Structure 1
Amino acid sequence: MECYQRHDGYQALRTALAMDPDAVIGTVKDSGLRGRGGAGFPTGQKWSFIPQERSPRSDQKVQGTVGAGAKPHYLVINADESEPGTCKDMPLLLATPHVLVEGAIIAAYAIRARHAFVYVRGEVLPVLRRLQTAVAVAYASGFLGRDILGSGFDLDLVVHAGAGAYICGEETALLDSLEGRRGQPRLRPPFPAVAGLYACPTVVNNVETIASVPAIIRGGVDWFTSMGSEKSPGFTLYSLSGHVTTPGQYEAPLGITLRELLDLAGGVRAGHALKFWTPGGSSTPLLTSEHLDVPLDYEGMAGVGSMLGTKALQIFDETTCVVRAVRRWTQFYAHESCGKCTPCREGTYWLAQIYERLEDGTGRPEDLDKLLDIADAIFGKSFCALGDGAASPIISSIKYFRDEYVAHLEGGCPFDPHASMLASPEGALT
């Protein structure tokens, strides 16, 4: 707490509490901050969807609460980081948990919520303990609880540990889990802004999104928009992993290229060349070395048929078998499917069976077309985005590396398994 406050911690909160809640929403909207959890939806616009009831006794909007008889508002922060290759939220919480706490208070004030929840992946126990400690210290310091900093605004922040299910990273499945139900996606509409947690208006934001808010309030809109691109302003965290000299988290303006990030990270490991990479975790269509200079923002990635996603840049060199890598991802999605919808439940199962045949040398000539047919039956037709995530690497890998798939059909895997990243102690995926 002392260290965070020495670096202007909780100054943005004091500024926000002196503003009207609508002015806070307006500032975030003007900044152009987009959700950092994958979809990139404008954050200020998402906050403005929450119905702002007026007090029956006055024409003025009520500070920090809602009108009498109205449903309460909730803020839910998604810290269930589970996308393969994604490792930005957990290091952020471990390094500086108070930036999330401060952002949560500001966001809750803006949407007039008196209760906020942080849904943390329960498997990361050190992060969970560190965040719980930060919340307890914030209560003791008067930043949480009743009458925060004498503003009349009340907020309770609850840290909730999930049980480690990938599907609970989907916002509506997360809400079901918070309510004590099995984590499965909900049918939309109604959207969470109308009927979310406990059927009340709810905002669900990613950790990095909320953690970006204090800097925006403190630095101002002009400062934030001076970074990034016109439609994707600001800074963000890029996670580099795999066959890269110095893996880790790199904070940079949106729109930086992979070539520039690799320069910062020391390049691909010595003696090897880039073969393919993911821009936003395993659920985004993979790209190749020809996309090194594409801007890493939402528009740039969409322009080459991929997605920025969670900005989890997994780097694979020429020793990696693309079929084996995509098979590992496919097995993951088959295992993590909640089973609620038929396309995802059945499709991921059969995709895994076909990849097993390709890997053990018993593939059939029709298998490539069958992979594409099943992927097409899942993509855009499943209940949530898990189906899209399972299909995307398959479709893109066949698009760019069809010859490698054909080689598996004709004579088995052309790669020595011990040279593959997936079996190598140098960069094994876990």
Structure 2
Amino acid sequence: MTILTPTDGLQLRVAGIDDLYNPGLDLDATVESPVATVGSTGITAAEPLLMATVDGTTAFYLACSSDRLETAVHRIDETGDVTAADPATVVDHDPELPEMPVVDLDALDNGIRRVLAGCGWRRPANVDDYDAAGGFLNDVDPDVVFDAGESIHGRGWGDACHDSALTETWVDAHDAEGDAAVVINAHSNPGDSLLLSSAPFNVLDGAVSLAQTVDATEIVIFASMADESAVETAHTAVERYPNDPSIAIDVVTGPAEYRAAEPTMALEAIEGNHRLEARLRPPGPESVGLYGRPTLIHTARTLSHLAVSLREGDDDSHPSTRVMTIQGDVTDQTVTEIPETATIEQACAAADTTGEIKAACVGGRFGGLAADLDISVDPETLTDADLGTEGIVNILSEDRCVVEFVGERAQFASEENCGRCVPCREGTTQLAELLRSLYDGTYRPEAIDELIRVMTTTSICEFGVNAGRPARTALDTFESEFKAHADGQCPTNSCLAAMEVK
């Protein structure tokens, strides 16, 4: 099979089956019709997802077991009928559609798909599929790239321009002495991992366009060594990418530690340092970064948004979006994409919860807790609400103890910080102790507030700046639960071992 779109005859796509972990499932060898292993859709509840297409009609078979998948593939192949194996739904669409059609099913119809357009529909590192869907960006005018960068803010705490415009650092990197480098930081965030494993050419298009604009000579893709699928796909995509020969592209893995995603600690990991510590700033990495060279560090999400903006533009017909991961008390983790005007509540609708929603921790490991989820996901609104913008929403169902939840995060921060600065190193330890003292009947909200204020205003990187946010926001919204614990009661009866020292 050369391309998936457009096509003649029957096509079978399987999303959410990773060749790395399913080496024995070789459907393509047992049927006459081509079977394409495409990337994950990000909607794990629907996967493995079989999509059978012929002449602009696609039948969707959701959450297939191995037996169900093999049976359906053989039945469809034998009959030539995409509906032969009782699909969940059937959709008519443009035969040349380069992305998954809109599906009217709860598991698949949430949000929109701009950055995620190719995820689950195209083979991730297949040049023909990418060409058929619009093709590679070639030698984009630097002024056009700068114009696009003006309207995009960095996505995720792994981006050196987190929540700020991109172009000021681009100018600094271009004007600094030495050959510039671009780092694609795909460490720790499920959205970045999905893009790298399911739509790597889009990520590379954004990075290469940026590298050409600032005269960078190297691109480094950085991912966790535990993220095997994304790393394997990235290597393949780099080998096949029709790259500018003046730009070297490498894939480097780092330790599977949360702190490794912090931009300057990512540089430490890429350079091979075993002890990861945040770097003091100024100077920032755009002036002195990888091996002392000017370096731009952007997440896979940021660079994918850049590529999409260069290809489509940003206007009313192409609204700015956010890639959001919904996890926690849900049946399956889900990665969805929604307009920035949409709300947290709408994002959460992409996943099935295990109970009534009590609250959500918005913004990743050190996000803020909110009970009211009718808040739009644009970064300014989230920041004003003291919530995080990492793009991860952790749902807490009504039987979850908020004190236990924030205590676990404080304990994690005390164990996982890099140790470079005192406010973070000592502050996270003291915060965990203050929260643990609730179980001894001691409740000191003023001390907690003051400690978090010092951590927030004096830590040298976002790890320490944000580590106290779960506790701070929980105190604002759920103070009655803290008081109850100091009185010897847990309203949910669920945290008997909550603050146990590990």
- Fold conserved (TM > 0.5)? yes
Q: Offset at 1:244?
A: 4.1
Q: Which residue of 2 aligns with 1:403?
A: 480
Q: Identify the residue that residue 67 of structure 1 maps to in structure 2.
A: none
Structure 2 distance, partners of 1:214, 1:302, is 26
**Aligned partner of 1:255: which letter?**
T
Equivalent residue in structure 1 for 2:461, among 359, 384, 387 = 384
Q: In the alignment, is residue 300 of structure 1 matched against residue 348 of structure 2?
A: no
Do the aligned partners of residues 131 and 419 (structure 1) sit closer, same or farther apart at CA in structure 2, a change above 3 Å counting?
Answer: farther
1:9 to 105, 113, 135: 135
Calculate the TM-score normalised by the size of structure 1: 0.79
For residues 486 and 359 of structure 2, the distance between their equivalents in structure 1, rounded to whole angstroms, comes to 21
CA distance in structure 2 between the partners assigned to 1:382 and 1:418 by the alignment: 30
Partner deviation per Cα, 1:51-85 (whole Å, 9 max, x = no partner):
348xxxxxxxxxxxxxxxx511111111122xxxx
Cα deviation, 1:170-202, whole Å, max 9, x if unaligned, reads: 212222222233321111111112111222221
Q: 1:227 to 1:298 in 2, by over 3 A?
A: farther
In 2, Cα distance between equivalents of 1:129 and 1:275: 39
Mapped partners of 2:374, 2:385: distance in 1 = 11
Name the CA distance, whole Å, in 2 between partners of 1:259 and 1:306: 14
Letter in 2 for 1:165: E
Asked whether the 8 Å contact 2:344–2:374 carries over to 1, the reply is: yes
Equivalent residue number for residue 66 of structure 1: none
Q: Alpha-carbon deviation of 1:245?
A: 6.0
Look up the match of 1:426.
none
1:96-130 deviation line (CA, Å, top 9, x unaligned): 22221222211111111111111111111222112
Which structure has greater helix proportion?
Answer: 1
- Distance change (3 Å), C-alpha of 1:136 and 1:33: same
1:363 alignment partner, one of 441, 446, 450: 441
Q: How far off is 1:205 after superposition?
A: 0.6
The residue that corresponds to 1:375 in the other structure is 452
Distance 1:41 1:7 in 2: 30
1:36 to 155, 160, 168: 155
Distance apart, 1:145 and its partner CA:
5.6
Please point out which of 293, 312, 326 is paired with 2:406: 326
Q: Which of residues 175, 178, 181 in structure 2 aligns to 1:74?
A: 181
% same residue: 27
TM-score relative to the length of structure 2: 0.68
| Structure 1 match to 2:433 | 353
Structural mapping, 1:158-169, within 5 Å: 158-169=250-261
Residue 157 of structure 1 deviates from its aligned partner by 0.5
Q: Distance in 2 between matches of 1:357 and 1:26?
A: 52
What secondary structure, in the 3-state scheme, does the structure 1 residue paired with 2:368 have?
A: coil
CA contact (8 A) 2:253 2:270 kept: no
1:175 to 1:263, Cα distance in 2 relative to 1, 3 A: closer
Give the Cα–Cα distance (whole angstroms) in 1 for the partners of residues 269 and 350 of structure 2. 39
> Match for residue 24 of structure 1?
144
Partner Cα distance (1:410, 1:103) in 2: 55
CA offset at residue 40 of structure 1?
A: 1.4
Residue 357 (structure 2) aligned to one of 244, 268, 274: 274
- Counterpart in the other structure of 1:120: 223
Instruction: Give runs of aligned pairs for residues 101-120 of structure 1, distance below 5 A.
Output: 101-120=204-223
Q: Deviation of residue 382 (structure 1)?
A: 1.2
State the one-letter code of the partner of 2:285: P
Partner of 1:305, secondary structure, is coil
Deviations 1:213-253 (A, max 9, x none): 2211111344xx6544xxxxx12211111234664111111
1:244/1:419 Cα in 2 relative to 1: closer, same or farther (>3 Å)? farther
Give the Cα–Cα distance (whole angstroms) in 2 for the partners of residues 203 and 348 of structure 1. 29
Q: 1:398 to 1:167 in 2, by over 3 A?
A: same
Q: How many pairs were matched up?
A: 367
Match of 2:30 in 1: none
SS state at 2:411 partner: helix
Instruction: Tell me how far apart the structure 1 counterparts of residues 495 and 130 of structure 2 sit (CA, whole Å).
Output: 46
Structure 1 letter corresponding to 2:211: A
Structure 2 distance, partners of 1:244, 1:236, is 20
Amino acid at match of 2:143: A
Q: Deviations over 1:228-279 (max 9, x none)?
A: 4xxxxx122111112346641111111211232344445x44xx43221122
Residues of 2 paired with 1:197 and 1:262: CA distance? 38
In the alignment, structure 2 segments of 5+ residues that lack a partner are: 1-125
Distance 1:328 1:104, change over 3 A: same
The yes-or-no answer on 1:180 pairing with 2:281 is: no
State the Cα deviation string for residues 400-421 of structure 1 (Å, max 9, x = none).
Answer: 111101111111423232899x
Q: CA deviation at 1:49?
A: 2.7
The one-letter amino acid paired with 2:377 is L
**Residue equivalent to 2:235:** 132
Does the CA-based 8 Å contact 2:187-2:193 persist in structure 1?
Answer: no
Q: Is the contact made by 2:441 and 2:488 (CA closer than 8 Å) also made in structure 1?
A: no
Instruction: Describe the superposition over 1:364-415 as per-residue Cα deviations: whole angstroms up to 9, x where unpaired.
Output: 24x4333333222312111211112211111111111111011111114232
More relative contact order, 1 or 2 (CA 8 Å, 6+ apart): 1
Distance in 1, matches of 2:149 and 2:378, equals: 18
3-state SS, counterpart of residue 277 of structure 1: strand
